Amino acid sequence: MRVLEIDHPLVAHKLTVLRDRSTHSSVFRQLADELVTLLAYEATRNVAVAPVEIETPVSGMTGTKLTNPKPMVVPILRAGLGMLDGMTRLLPTAEVGFLGMVRNEETLEVTTYANRLPDDLTGRQCFVVDPMLATGHTLIAAVNYLHERGARDITCVTLLSAPEGIATLSEAIGEDVDLTVVTAAIDDRLNASGYIVPGLGDAGDRLFGVVD
């Protein structure tokens, strides 16, 4: 598994405002969107392209365009929805599939409550978007889900990651998956409640407000 922590002043600035507890939801959503666009630039470095012949106003030339099979962007509901637009903005040909996963806050176990994805993902490049790689259990379940349907090239895009989650994910996913994690920052640790420290709190609540 490759892990890419993006070292860029704009990412660091936006992430700092995002982490701040006084940042309002509307600004949080805007910043999350902007950050994902910056992460997507790195996450799509190996996206499939093909040469195409075009005519500029001056001459003919061989250019490059995104090719088939179309990339698949998979937001993990609910918080991953806040990252969807930022990702698809850079990947105009992408299709979008959905995985609904919820973490039991006491046991930290993850269950899948919804999915909307093609049965056959053979040969598809998949981009899983989820703001927080905390324990790693959600992304393990998501990556296994995609792999069972034939995907082998999977990139997880996260805003924050915990070292524990990175290690758990790396150990759980076999060599058969070409797995990359692109993240804006790797934080210090997880606390006893499974929150990333220093983190940014509950990403879903900060994006969309608290649901009781």
Interaction of residue 11 with ligand URA, rule CB under 6 A: no
Q: How many Cβ atoms sit within 10 Å of the Cβ of residue 144?
A: 14
Contact region with ligand URA (CB under 6 A), list: 10-18, 27-35, 104-112, 188-196: 188-196
| CA 34 – CA 6 distance, rounded (Å) | 14
Which DSSP category does 47 fall into?
Answer: -
Q: What number of CA atoms fall less than 13 Å from residue 7's CA on the CB side?
A: 2
In the complex, least distance from residue 80 CB atom to ligand URA, rounded to whole angstroms:
11
Q: Which is nearer to ligand URA, 71 or 204 (CB)?
A: 204
Residues 189-208 that bind ligand URA (CB under 6 A): 194-196, 199, 202-204
Kindly tell me which residue out of 134, 169, 182, 185 binds ligand URA, with binding defined by CB under 6 A.
134
For residues 79, 181, 115 and 73, what is the CA-based torsion angle, rounded to 10 degrees?
A: 90
# residues near ligand URA by CB under 6 A? 9
Site for ligand URA in 74-133 (CB under 6 A): 132
Strand pairing report for 60-66 and 49-55: antiparallel
Binding site for ligand URA (CB under 6 A): 132, 134, 194-196, 199, 202-204
